[in-house]
Amino acid sequence: MVSKAKNNALPKSSGGTSGGKVESSSAKSKLRGLSFAEGEKQLAPVDAELKKPGTGARLTNANYAKLYDLYGKYLKAGPSKQPGLLAELDQAIQSWLSVHDGSKKHDESRLPGVRLLADQVRVALSGGKSTEPETPKVEAPKVDETPKVEAPKVDAPKVDAPKVDLVPPEEMAPTIEPPKDVPPPPKDVPPPITSEEKPVAKLDEPPKVEDVKENPVVAKLPDAKVELTVEELVTLDYNQILTYLDTREKSVVEKLRTADKFISHAESLGAEQLAQVVCRILLRTPDSVVNKGGSRTEAIRILSSQLRNAEVCKNLLANEAFVVIIPKDKLMTDFAEFSQWAGTYTFDGRPWDITRGMGGIKTSRNTAIAEENLTGDEVDQSVARKGWHSKEWMEHSKKNGTTETNENGKVGPKTGDTGTKVFNAGVYCSGYSTTNHEFFHTIHSLGLNKTDHAKIQSEYDDKKKKPKETEWADGPEMKKDDTFSVNYSSSTVYEYFAQTGCAFQGTNVGTDPYTSRDRNNGRSWVNANEPELAKILGKVCSDSELKNVNPRDAKKKVDDAPKVEDVKPKEDTAPKGGATVGGAPSPTTAPKKEATTPEGGTKVGDSIGLIGQK
């Protein structure tokens, strides 16, 4: 138990006087207004007696617990019952104290606690008002209202605040501390690089002679096997740095996350330049990505638009965040970064294998983004897995041994067995960016400082108290029949930030899956409806909205149009991995259109919508 000697004086009510009942108690009038130290001094003779052999230093006293029990009941009770409970409590306190003064049978350590309670009751009785102005209750902590934030006003609130002399400043301060620059960095080693990833670009042209003359380091750029030192790197200009990052092995590039001097150099080049550099360090583009060049270019376009704040960039690097592009014909769990989820289910009953994005996980720090969502393609039909309707079915089958090895070489359902089905990967409507969404999760968890995080939390908490008609990024908390329903953006503080972020970036297109109502989208909506989040997002994001993300509709039109091959002899000349510009993939690189519906022609959502329902 913590020594009570540490406690400062007991609270004195600002009113100073007590109600008649309280004053009538000699014990209470004797003890009230004393500090703990003074109280304990007065109790010294009692202490000595209680500590005599045979007396027992800590006599149990059920009545003591009853006092706090009564106080809890009083706090919980409605206005009609409170006066009666308060009187009962006051009586019980007086009784306890009188026994203490008379027979001295109480455990001395409990007296300060009773005095504390007596003071609360006195406050409640005085004036017959709620205890709220006098109790230690505070409004929900808001960062910009904490004394610490107001600290520059040296002579301000602490002196004038009631009872401030009773509590040491460090204990009085709300728990929100000054912003920490970086969340606690994980201690373990960085996750392994997924599949073999070769450099994404090759130097087609040798460096210009004049550049080499000016800086001999430039001469080393063409040799992809040469690793430059940090000292050498900081002599390069912006384009040369990007060339270096785009031509070296991923392991070489990722090492730069801890090269503070290099990051400072990149920062000195400008916010956009830093974003481009950091993107290249964070992003992993496995060789198995079908449209590797196009996907990577688009991922950098989107991610760099969310990395315009140096503090966020540095926090992400320090926290070893990674972003992995999942090829459109692979499962997320095919990659080392996400293999721990293989064969497991989401909370809403989908196999994690077929999900197409993940972000903001403090423990693993890896963000998954999907190739098809970058390029506007359809997910490959091969990204489907036999699974069970629910975890219960899975356990049932495993118990009965009706399983067989699945595509991942793991235990899977036996074909045709009851309770099994084929799960297809989900797709997202044209214009909605899961890359944007997942990376906002990562920024929220691993990039923002504590002040921003507390602000997002308080904004979310405040909004959750508002009527269901209140507009969120994904519309009101109402279904189309006007009955209440949480929407995606209101479901947790994480989705609140991620979906509002998408709206800020102009990528929150479509309808909410929980309410079937249209989502809100656009920076003007966020500025008008979420001004506090807009401030944070304005700091994090680029100056303008993103255009043409996940261009599924445009891609379909291209795919549905008559093909050149239909009228000309077939020539397989389309280069694999052609670049995309502005999110619009080159038609020449567009893979063939794939069906998005599972067997039977039902929509994806329909086919898996009942998974796990009780």
Partner 1 sequence: MSADREPRAYLVVRNRAALLRVEARPGHLRSMAAPPEGWVPPTHPFVDASSMDPTSEDELRGVLDASTSFGDFMARLIAAGCDIMSAASDTWDLPPARRIHAGTRVVGALWAQGGQFTSLDWQPAADADIYPHATITAYAADRADALHGALAATRTLPELESIIADLDLTLAPG
**Could you say which residues in the range 549-578 bind partner 1, by CB under 8 A?**
none
Of 23, 69, 145, 267, the one binding partner 1 by CB under 8 A: 69
Name the 3-class secondary structure at 287: coil
Using CB under 8 A, which of the segments 173-181, 213-221, 243-251, 574-582 binds partner 1? Answer: 173-181
For residue 411, the Cα-to-chain-centroid distance in whole angstroms is 33
Six token digits for residue 473: 């990024």
Of 28, 43, 71, 295, the one binding partner 1 by CB under 8 A: 71
The residue among 357 and 551 lying less far from partner 1, judged by its C-beta, is 357
**Could you say which residues in the range 491-550 bind partner 1, by CB under 8 A?**
491-495, 510, 513-514
Q: What is the rounded CA–CA span in Å between residue 522 and residue 474? A: 12
First vs last C-alpha separation in the chain? 47
Name the 3-class secondary structure at 106: coil
Rg (CA), the chain: 32
Minimal distance, residue 204 CB to partner 1, in Å: 39
For residue 199, the Cα-to-chain-centroid distance in whole angstroms is 32
Q: Which residues pair with 422 in a beta bridge?
A: 386
The residue among 278 and 456 lying less far from partner 1, judged by its C-beta, is 456
Minimal distance, residue 267 CB to partner 1, in Å: 25
Six token digits for residue 289: 């990505």
Minimal distance, residue 610 CB to partner 1, in Å: 7
CA of 128: how far to CAs of 28, 70, 256, in Å? 19, 18, 66
Checking DSSP bridges between strand 283-284 and strand 322-326, what pairing results, if any? parallel
**Could you say which residues in the range 228-247 bind partner 1, by CB under 8 A?**
none
Are the C-beta atoms of residues 335 and 286 closer than 8 Å to each other? yes
- Specify the amino acid at residue 119: D
Q: What is the rounded CA–CA span in Å between residue 29 and residue 16? A: 12
The residue among 210 and 347 lying less far from partner 1, judged by its C-beta, is 347
Minimal distance, residue 121 CB to partner 1, in Å: 9
Of 12, 248, 308, 453, the one binding partner 1 by CB under 8 A: 453
Show the beta-strand stretches assigned E in 202-339. Answer: 283-284, 322-326
**Could you say which residues in the range 376-405 bind partner 1, by CB under 8 A?**
390-392
Q: Mind spelling out the 3-state secondary structure of 153-184?
A: CCCCHHHHCCCHHHCCHHHHCCCCCCCCCCCC
Are the C-beta atoms of residues 391 and 345 closer than 8 Å to each other? yes
Of 56, 157, 575, 609, the one binding partner 1 by CB under 8 A: 609
Using CB under 8 A, which of the segments 96-104, 414-422, 432-440, 525-533 binds partner 1? Answer: 432-440
Structure-token match 């009955």, residue found: 483
Contact pattern from residue 283 through residue 322 relative to partner 1, giving x for each residue in contact according to CB under 8 A and a dash for the rest: ----------------------------------------
The residue among 235 and 491 lying less far from partner 1, judged by its C-beta, is 491
**Could you say which residues in the range 20-59 bind partner 1, by CB under 8 A?**
none
The residue among 235 and 470 lying less far from partner 1, judged by its C-beta, is 470
Using CB under 8 A, which of the segments 47-55, 69-77, 308-316, 569-577 binds partner 1? Answer: 69-77
**Could you say which residues in the range 460-489 bind partner 1, by CB under 8 A?**
461, 464-465, 485-486, 488
Minimal distance, residue 220 CB to partner 1, in Å: 42
**Could you say which residues in the range 258-277 bind partner 1, by CB under 8 A?**
none
The residue among 497 and 504 lying less far from partner 1, judged by its C-beta, is 497
Minimal distance, residue 550 CB to partner 1, in Å: 11
Are the C-beta atoms of residues 346 and 352 closer than 8 Å to each other? yes
The Cβ-side half-sphere exposure at 603, using a 13 Å CA radius, reads 7
The residue among 64 and 335 lying less far from partner 1, judged by its C-beta, is 64
For residue 213, the Cα-to-chain-centroid distance in whole angstroms is 49
State which H helix or E strand residue 35 sits in.
Answer: none
**Total binding residues toward partner 1, as defined by CB under 8 A:** 113
Using CB under 8 A as the binding rule, whether residue 427 contacts partner 1 is answered as yes
**Could you say which residues in the range 330-359 bind partner 1, by CB under 8 A?**
340-341, 344-350, 352, 355-358
Minimal distance, residue 174 CB to partner 1, in Å: 5
- Left (φ > 0), alpha (ψ -120 to 50) or beta: where does 411 sit? beta
Name the 3-class secondary structure at 527: helix
Are the C-beta atoms of residues 510 and 436 closer than 8 Å to each other? no
Contact pattern from residue 73 through residue 112 relative to partner 1, giving x for each residue in contact according to CB under 8 A and a dash for the rest: xxxxxxx--x------------------------x-xx-x
Of 60, 258, 264, 382, the one binding partner 1 by CB under 8 A: 60
The residue among 287 and 392 lying less far from partner 1, judged by its C-beta, is 392
**Could you say which residues in the range 130-159 bind partner 1, by CB under 8 A?**
130, 132, 135-141
Q: Which residues pair with 366 in a beta bridge?
A: 322
Question: Could you write out the DSSP letters of every residue in 546-593?
Answer: --S-S-HHHHHHHHHSPPHHHHS-----PPTT--EETTEE-GGGPPPP
The residue among 213 and 391 lying less far from partner 1, judged by its C-beta, is 391
The residue among 228 and 394 lying less far from partner 1, judged by its C-beta, is 394
Minimal distance, residue 239 CB to partner 1, in Å: 36
Nearest by Cα to 162 from 137, 187, 140 = 137
Using CB under 8 A, which of the segments 228-236, 265-273, 305-313, 435-443 binds partner 1? Answer: 435-443
Pure H helices in 319-432: 371-375, 391-400
